[in-house]
A and B are shown apart, each in its own frame.
Chain A
């Protein structure tokens, strides 16, 4: 098998594995049980989506998709930071109420 024939097969296997990973991560987002678990699973989901975009970039040969991956990495980091700020501010409000 030549290298050019191998590439579509490898990307298809990788896309299937990443799709399964997205499904399993979504299960953790749904069942929780706390907000922190959901934030962690969402953070993982953005990283897996980055991998998905990378696999599609290899499969189609359109390397512009890589910019989407970089933007997703930044978005995932900032989303996690925002969620953590929200959790911390909620905790300090509960302390003030006591």
Chain B
């Protein structure tokens, strides 16, 4: 009974994770500029990968495997925002402008004070 429940839940997590990954890829392809694409890649992508690893943890029925999967999810959730932040920072310093529809740019004043940066 509880085994069946874990497998059903694992299947649901697996399909949800795959759907989130597909949505992240579509967002990366379709959104207008780098900074909005970053929303799709870092949030939906991390949730997609994390849900699939949680599905592995649910389906495996093995403590060590589940622990490794949960450690991988924690690692993913820690590193994805860091890399997205670094990439946004580097491209903003490099003069990559946000799209036309972006109205608020909080870093703009800083980059105007030091125009070469």
Residues of A within 8 A of B (CB): 2-4, 6-7, 10-11, 13-15, 17-18, 20-22, 24-25, 27-28, 34, 36-37, 39-41, 43-44, 47-48, 50-51, 54-55, 57-58, 63, 66-67, 69-70, 73-74, 76-77, 80-81, 83-84, 87-88, 91, 95, 98
Contacts and interface: CB of A to CB of B under 8 A. Distances in A.
B29 to A, nearest CB: 5
Binding site secondary structure of chain B: helix
A70 B68 contact: yes
Interface of B: 3-4, 7-8, 10-11, 14-15, 17-19, 21-22, 24-26, 28-29, 34, 37-38, 41, 45-46, 48-49, 52-53, 55-56, 59-60, 62, 65, 68-69, 71-72, 75-76, 79-80, 82-84, 86-87, 90-91, 93-94, 96, 116-117
Contacts of A28: 25, 28-29, 37
Contacts of A18: 18, 21-22
A11 B87 CA distance: 33
B48 A48 contact: yes
